[in-house]
Amino acid sequence: MTATLPSATATSGSTKADRPGRRGGRRFPWAPWLLLTPSVVLLAVMVGYPTIKMIVTSFTDEAIRNKMLGTAPNFVGFDNYLEIFTQSDFPAVLARSIALMVILTALITAGGMLLALLMRRLSKGWRTAVSISLLLAWAMPPLAATVVFGWMFDTKYGVANYILNVLTRSNDWTDHQWLYNPFSFFMVLILIVTWQGIPFAAFTFYAGLGQVPDEVLEASQLDGAGGFQRFRFIVMPYLSSVVTAVLVLETIWNLRIFTQVYALQQRGGLVSETNVLPTYIFRQGMGEFGVTAAIGVIMLILLMALSYFNVRRTLKEEAL
Amino acid sequence: MTTQLSPALAAGAASPVDSIETKRPKGRGRTFRPRNVWTRVALNSIAAIVIACSVFPVYWMVNMSFTPPQKIISREPAFFPVEFTWKNYVTAWTREAAPGQTDFVHGLGASIGVALAVVVVCALFAFLASIALARFAFKGRWVFIISVLIVQMVPGEAMMYTTFNMLDSWQLVNTLFGLFLVHLASVVPFTIWTLRGFVAGVPADLEEAAQIDGCTKAQAFWKVTFPLLAPGLVSTGIFAFIQSWNEFTMALLLLQGYNLTLPPWLNSFQSATEATNWGAVMAGSTLIALPVVIFFLFVQGRMVGGLVSGAVKG
């Protein structure tokens, strides 16, 4: 398979080949910078500049009228930050976002681990079937997946209500409104995101489990370790770096969730009760850019703090 | 912006389906197949439930897309497309998402155009940068590597309006070029990072050997290193394509009217309030999901590795 070569080399590459020698550097000392120029310019303009601009804007009262009239905004210090924390529903949105992130990350990591353990114990045929079905869920574009789930939980014609009616042998679920109630809105949302998120965690853990040596497991079994003990004291230490990696990435991704929340809100959720950070920013609209920027800065700080662990972990593992 | 798949994709080891089996070193991670029949039955039943749960929503989408509209609006949903029809696909393909908005065909053109441009330009930019990082020792290399890692984590959602205003001042709002720039910037850091691993994985000694055999430096690179990088370019390219194809937030914010790409098209199509044609919406969703599913099957072998390669070794 074509996948084998780069994977093998990419894994072991960091030891020798990754430390570039002096070659090429002597005759053309500017060559690396020439090669980097397109990317540096692009990222400076499209990421660096907006980041700085947003931070600056967050300390001003810039609004749509400044754009219309062409006047310069005034510097207002921390007023925007004070305003969002004291006079808006931003604290609630922030709390909701973080709670959602914690729940999703926990569910996806735990579910992924259970599935990976299950896949290890299946015969080849079953495992392939499970893998392909997980791949299908993973591959669905998030918007398409949300549209489908939205329809499955439709009030009138949703298959969810139909199945629940059949299972409970009642008509209790006829016209049950899933999305109108914020609590069940989030249940549906969590279902969608977990459904799509578990495959990645499961595949990653599955690959990680392959690294646990058999002898150690057998030895511990002979010493009388039970299933849970073996998992906790033998498997987990081998897996800890993979688990950390998945946890960090899931935390970041789940805090940035936009598509699923927005599309479900379109299907009949109460926007004010179901906003998370990205949809909240989106729905600020073209009014007060200063306030919106302040919200953006808070989200940026939050994600940067989480990313710190990711950056440190990556650098350590790549042993550059 | 970068959604669920991001850094995991591309580059690296472990196919969940097959190559794990062949590549695993002996004596490690053999599967533990329980000997007890009842345990096996129990595990297989759980596996069957997992398969059913993962597949059902996708099946439901396809099923609905082949069901006639009047049958979809029914209190007893049809679990199989008994009255099979292609009509939904025709509707989805031709009807405007909402009055004054693009139809599927133009959305498809816009999506493919943006995604392909992103793939080509991103591959070029990242390829050059990754060579600089993997083949040259220079001052500032560290700074650049750390910057790439940080930039990769900057949430585009946080500054959507700053980006919007910036593009607005360049007259690029509601143009596909503006969306292309946004998508490009969001995939380039990850692609640099991944390709760097691929370039570093091709030993420079190989190139030197070719040079000793009489190749020029450029020849040695094109004839020896470049072909070995092809798989890396393909998988990062597919990653960039999927990212751009799925990206919704900025497309929703930037595009209007007849310029929509497929995700905002689907969004308008499903929320067109009076009598949404759900069969056609499901047909549209199926059509949007199809290329991504195909690409996933293509690169499945390389999807988990990127992240795992760093974390698992040893």
In angstroms, the CA A265 to CA A268 distance is 5
Q: Which residue has the higher pLDDT, B302 or A240?
A: A240
A291 against A214, higher pLDDT: A291
pLDDT digits over A13-58, tens only?
Answer: 334 444 455 454 456 778 888 999 999 999 999 999 999 999 999 9
The Cα of A83 is separated from the nearest Cα of chain B by a number of Å equal to 18
Q: Say what the ipTM of the complex is.
A: 0.85
Q: What is the mean pLDDT of residues A257-270?
A: 91
Using the beta-carbon criterion (under 8 Å), do A129 and B64 form an inter-chain contact? Answer: no
pLDDT at res. A129: 92
Nearest to A4, CA basis, from B277, B13, B165: B13
Hunting for tokens 């007259």 — which residue is that? Answer: B171
DSSP state of A232: I
Q: Given an 8 Å threshold on Cβ–Cβ distance, is B304 in contact with A244?
A: no
Do residues B204 and A17 touch, judged by C-beta distance below 8 A? yes
List CB contacts (< 8 A) between A53 and chain B.
159, 162, 166
For residue B235, pLDDT over 80 is answered with: yes
pLDDT exceeds 80 at position A116: yes
Collect all residues of chain A within an 8 Å Cβ-Cβ radius of residue B65.
Answer: none
Say how far apart CA B211 and CA B222 lie, in whole Å.
Answer: 12
Mean pLDDT of A213-229: 82
Q: In whole angstroms, what is the distance from residue B85 CA to residue B65 CA?
A: 8
Taking the Cβ of residue B38 and every Cβ of chain A, the question of whether any pair is shorter than 8 Å is answered with no
Q: Closest Cα of chain B to A297: distance in Å?
A: 7
Question: In the prediction, which pLDDT does A221 show?
Answer: 82
CB contacts, 8 Å: A267 with chain B? 270-271
Which span out of A80-89, A162-171, A247-256, B107-116 was modeled with the highest average pLDDT? B107-116
Is residue B177 included in any domain, yes or no? yes
Domain containing B14 — which CATH number? Answer: 1.10.3720.10
Of B90, B292, B236, B175, which Cα lies nearest the Cα of A141?
B292
Residue B266 in domain: yes
**B78 vs A243, which has greater pLDDT?**
A243
Q: What tens digit of pLDDT does each residue of B140-176 get?
A: 888 888 888 888 888 888 999 999 999 999 999 999 9
Shortest CA distance to B277 belongs to which of B93, B109, B76? B93
Q: What are the boundaries of each domain within chain A?
A: 90-274
Per-residue pLDDT averaged across B271-285, rounded? 79
**Residue B62 placed within a domain:** yes
User: Could you tell me the residue range of the domain that residue B46 belongs to?
Assistant: 6-312
Residue A60, strand partner residues: A75
B8 touching A (Cβ < 8 Å)? yes
Domain contains B288: yes
pLDDT in tens, B237-272: 988 999 999 999 999 999 988 889 999 999 988 876
SS3 B295: helix
Domain count for chain B: 1
Compare A101 and A172 and report the one with higher pLDDT: A101
Q: Is the dihedral of CA A63, A65, A68, A69 positive or negative?
A: negative
Best of B54, B190, B261 to substitute, by most chain A Cβ atoms within 10 angstroms, is B54
CB atoms A39 and B266 under 8 Å? no
- State the average pLDDT over residues B177-192: 94
CB contact under 8 A, A121 and B34: yes
Q: Which residues, listed in sequence order, are joined to residue B28 by a DSSP beta bridge?
A: A213
Which residues from chain A sit within 8 angstroms of residue B231, using beta carbons? 2-3, 5-6
How many Cβ pairs closer than 8 A exist between chain A and B? 438
Instruction: Using CB atoms, pick whichever of B128, B285, B310 lies closest to residue A35.
Output: B128
How far from B202 is each of A9, A138, B135, B145, CA to CA, in Å?
A: 7, 31, 10, 19
Q: Would you say residue A8 has pLDDT above 60?
A: no
What average pLDDT score do residues B284-288 get?
Answer: 93
Instruction: Return residues 59-118 of B near A (CB < 8 Å).
Output: 60-61, 64, 72-77
Compute the mean pLDDT over every residue in chain A, rounded to the nearest whole number: 85
- Helices then strands (H, E): number in chain A? 17, 0
Report whether pLDDT(B4) > 50.
no
Is B1 a domain residue?
A: no
Contact of B159 with chain A, judged by CB distance below 8 Å, is answered with yes
Nearest CB to B308: which of A4, A145, A208?
Answer: A208
Q: What is the mean pLDDT of residues A94-116?
A: 96
Report CB contact under 8 Å: B160, A282. Answer: yes
pLDDT in tens, A119-152: 988 988 999 899 999 999 999 999 999 999 999 9
Q: Which of the pair, B193 or A193, is modelled with greater confidence?
A: A193
A68: buried, middle or exposed (CB in 10 Å: 19+, 13-18, 0-12)? exposed
Q: What is the structure's pLDDT at B311?
A: 34
No. of helices (H) and no. of strands (E), chain B:
15, 0
pLDDT in tens, A176-210: 889 989 999 999 999 999 999 999 999 989 988 88
Nearest to B130 by CA among B194, B205, B225: B194
pLDDT value of position B302 = 59
Contacts of A175 (CB under 8 A, 6+ apart): A155, A156, A161
pLDDT bin (cut points 50, 70, 90) of residue B11 is: very low
Global pTM reads 0.85
Domain A90-274 falls in which CATH fold? MetI-like fold (1.10.3720)
Per the structure block, which two tokens stand in for A41?
A: 């310019």
